Structure 1
Amino acid sequence: MNSNIFLKNRSYRTFTDKALSKNDLLKMVENARVSASSRNGQAVRFALVDSRELCDKVFPLVRWASSISWNPKKEESPHAYIALCLPNDVPTNKCLLYFDMGVAAQSILLTAVEMGYGGCIIGAFDKTNVHDILNIPQNYDCEILIALGEPDEISTVVDAVNGETKYYRDEEKRHQYVPKLPLNELIF
Structure 2
Amino acid sequence: MILPIYIYGSPVLRKTAANITPDYPGLQQFIADMWETMYDADGVGLAAPQVGKSIRMFVVDASPWAEEEPELADFKKTFINAEIYERFGDEWRFSEGCLSLPGIHEDVMRPSGIKIRYVDENFVEHDEEYSGYAARVIQHEYDHLDGKLFVDHLSPLRRTLLKSKLVGMTKGNFKAHYKCKLVKK
Task: Provide TM-score, normalisation by structure 2.
Answer: 0.31
- Give the number of the structure whose alpha-carbon radius of gyration is greater: 1
Task: Provide TM-score, normalisation by structure 1.
Answer: 0.31
